[in-house]
Amino acid sequence: MTMPTSATDALRALQGLEGGSSSVRLRAALAVGTDPDPGFVDKLIERCAIEPEFYVREMLTWALTRHPSSMTVPRLIDELRSERAQARSQALHTLSKIGDRQAWPAITRELLSDADDEVARSAWRSAVVLVPEGEEAELAAELGAQLGRGERETQVSLSRALTALGEVIVSTLRTATMDLDPRVRVHAIATERLLRDPDTGFEFAIEEAKRIMALGTSGQEG
């Protein structure tokens, strides 16, 4: 008995998601997203947790966004409790792309301060997209607690997340400029510089912040 073409194609795509070649997995994810089906959702999310190639993970996320959020969001929220860092990170990334604010309560303080930098960065980006109107200041305070964390890539991500919230972050940043940790103070001053002038490069903002600190001024004048 011959399977219907659609069923045959679906089976081939599902098998392709586990293919040994990244190009095969990429084409399979594209096929699944092009012809979405509820039966694909679990496999897509399962693959997101272990897929080693960035561009394939991006296609998996795109494929998930092509399915109804009523099906994907609850499963993605479940992934946020995974012990696997990549599962948490990719689920957060996908939730930010879907943009369904029903996922907001799942963006917990624990995720925003996750020990894994990639998970935390994904949580920051997702939080900025999903935060309900009126809760931006509270989110700014949570993000502000991470100032000074990590290497440049992590600090850039945090500054971008904070500046995306707008003027509501100013109070948090100015409190941070009085922190005992010089890394926190530098990062806060640099982020405020980026808020005032988004075209300023992060490295320039950091060097300017260091200069301001060396001169013993807050950088808040003007």
Locate 25 and state its tokens.
Answer: 């997995």
Render pLDDT for 103-130 as a digit per residue (tens, 0 to 9): 999 999 999 999 999 999 999 999 999 9
Asked whether residue 147 is domain-assigned, the answer is yes
What single DSSP character describes residue 218? -
Amino acid found at 5: T
Same domain, residue pair 141 and 66:
no
Q: What is the pLDDT of residue 2?
A: 35
Asked whether residue 166 is domain-assigned, the answer is yes
Check which CATH number belongs to the domain holding 84 and give it: 1.25.10.10
* Residue 161: exposure state from Cβ atoms within 10 A (0-12, 13-18, ≥19): buried
In 3D, which of 210, 174, 212, 165 has the Cα closest to residue 192? 174
User: What's the CA gap between 43 and 92, in Å, rounded?
Assistant: 17
Report how many domains make up the chain.
2
Is the pLDDT score of 186 beyond 90? Answer: yes
Among 130, 146, 169, identify where a domain stops.
130
Same domain, residue pair 87 and 118:
yes
Q: How confident is the model at residue 217 (pLDDT cuts 50, 70, 90)?
A: low
Q: Look up the domain containing 160 and give its range.
A: 134-215
Same domain, residue pair 117 and 39:
yes
Q: What is the pLDDT of residue 19?
A: 81
Is the pLDDT score of 164 beyond 90? Answer: yes
The residue behind tokens 């990719």 is: 90
pTM above 0.85?
yes
Same domain, residue pair 147 and 117:
no
Angle at 97 between CA 52 and CA 108, to 5 degrees: 85
Q: What is the pLDDT of residue 20?
A: 85
User: What's the CA gap between 20 and 16, in Å, rounded?
Assistant: 9
Of 146 and 18, the one with more pLDDT? 146
Same domain, residue pair 97 and 151:
no
List the end-to-end C-alpha distance of the chain, in Å, as a whole number.
78
Same domain, residue pair 98 and 154:
no
Asked whether residue 220 is domain-assigned, the answer is no
Q: What is the pLDDT of residue 212?
A: 87
User: What's the CA gap between 186 and 69, in Å, rounded?
Assistant: 40
User: What's the CA gap between 183 and 49, in Å, rounded?
Assistant: 33
Of 208 and 89, the one with more pLDDT? 89
* Residue 80: exposure state from Cβ atoms within 10 A (0-12, 13-18, ≥19): buried
Asked whether residue 112 is domain-assigned, the answer is yes
User: What's the CA gap between 122 and 95, in Å, rounded?
Assistant: 10
Average predicted confidence (pLDDT) for the chain: 92
In 3D, which of 125, 129, 122, 174 has the Cα closest to residue 147? 174
Asked whether residue 126 is domain-assigned, the answer is yes
Residues 116/85, Cβ–Cβ less than 8 Å: yes
Asked whether residue 2 is domain-assigned, the answer is no
Question: Minimum mean pLDDT among 33-37, 70-74, 85-89: which range?
Answer: 33-37
Is the pLDDT score of 22 beyond 90? Answer: yes
Same domain, residue pair 138 and 113:
no
Is the pLDDT score of 220 beyond 60? Answer: no
Same domain, residue pair 102 and 194:
no
Same domain, residue pair 86 and 144:
no
Q: What is the pLDDT of residue 170?
A: 97
Same domain, residue pair 31 and 117:
yes
Q: What is the pLDDT of residue 1?
A: 33
Asked whether residue 7 is domain-assigned, the answer is no
Render pLDDT for 132-145 as a digit per residue (tens, 0 to 9): 999 999 999 999 99
The residue behind tokens 């409790």 is: 81
Asked whether residue 1 is domain-assigned, the answer is no
Among 73, 100, 130, identify where a domain stops.
130
**Which helix H or strand E contains 152, and what residues bound it?**
helix 152-164
Same domain, residue pair 119 and 34:
yes
Q: What is the pLDDT of residue 221?
A: 45
Among 78, 112, 130, identify where a domain stops.
130
